[in-house]
Structure 1
């Protein structure tokens, strides 16, 4: 926290938003209190006003806009954030790689979020994921659409069957 505060002060910037793609709050019960000194609004799925859950809602910062995309599945209230040619999608693509949650909270919603929201973006869209496998945190929509082990070449029913077979 002190490093972030120093960087902001050095550039005379004010942090407007803390954007969280998903949360495992039970594992970090003091996190909200730790973020409070930053003075920025916390944007995460379980605390959003209904207006921000509308498809295409935007968050302004400077001369830029970040689009909020509800993408449930990894957790029930996951969000992704689109900015320019980038999508920050957190644990959405890390189907079984999250150390805090070995399987998706809502597999059907996860399939729908990935196939209907993420994979419909332009091929060159950069995807910034959390819980990256093999230390790779950036890929493209095209790459994931072609090669993702749980989405490429599967039907929704096949995906759901694979999720149902995962250990609890």
Structure 2
């Protein structure tokens, strides 16, 4: 298998490239339109056919050109809101399978993607660190997604974030379950009280 992580230093946003070299098929998780030349070069370098574009979440209302830019990758887009229905829930590429897991909370339609011992969870664990959104859109759903879907995975499962400003990009379920500042040691009511006390959602400047 071929696996690459791309990091944008300015925003902390991360993109993941997974590929089956024998089948020459690849998947991109959370690609960004600004990186199109680099992404296309990486695919061409290894003669890979892009099978899927997977988005854990998006902020297209602030980045209105993003869907059109990602369409240039010429692969089906999987994200958690219309017009991109989550169907099927298992996505093949080469001899590999990626499982699609609905994990709303950071936004109302977030998805996570499970592959082997890795779980790509976007902004779920960032809570207040997203460069485009200062607080979760649906705190109740976020608590349920993290505690019922992420923290029930095996301890050694690797968690890959969608952005990592002043934080680690990769951790384990065990680490996050024990030490996450918002989820470890709190009840659901305590967590929701913390979220309610956060400043009102900032309206960030759109990028074009």
Which residue number corresponds to residue 86 of structure 1? 118
* Distance across 2 between alignment mates of 1:4 and 1:128: 19
Which residue number corresponds to residue 140 of structure 2? 108
Higher helix content, 1 or 2: 1
TM-score, normalisation: structure 2: 0.76
Which residue number corresponds to residue 42 of structure 1? 77
What do you get for the CA RMSD once the two structures are aligned?
1.2
* Distance across 2 between alignment mates of 1:139 and 1:88: 11
Say whether residues 1:95 and 2:127 are aligned partners: yes
TM-score, normalisation: structure 1: 0.93
* Distance across 1 between alignment mates of 2:167 and 2:100: 26
* Distance across 2 between alignment mates of 1:99 and 1:11: 32
Deviation at 1:133, TM superposition (A): 4.2
Unaligned runs of 5+ in 2: 1-35, 201-208
* Distance across 2 between alignment mates of 1:154 and 1:6: 45
The count of corresponding residues between Structure 1 and Structure 2 is 164
Say whether residues 1:31 and 2:62 are aligned partners: no
Higher strand content, 1 or 2: 2
* Distance across 1 between alignment mates of 2:76 and 2:87: 15
* Distance across 2 between alignment mates of 1:125 and 1:50: 23
SS of residue paired to 2:127: coil
Say whether residues 1:6 and 2:41 are aligned partners: yes
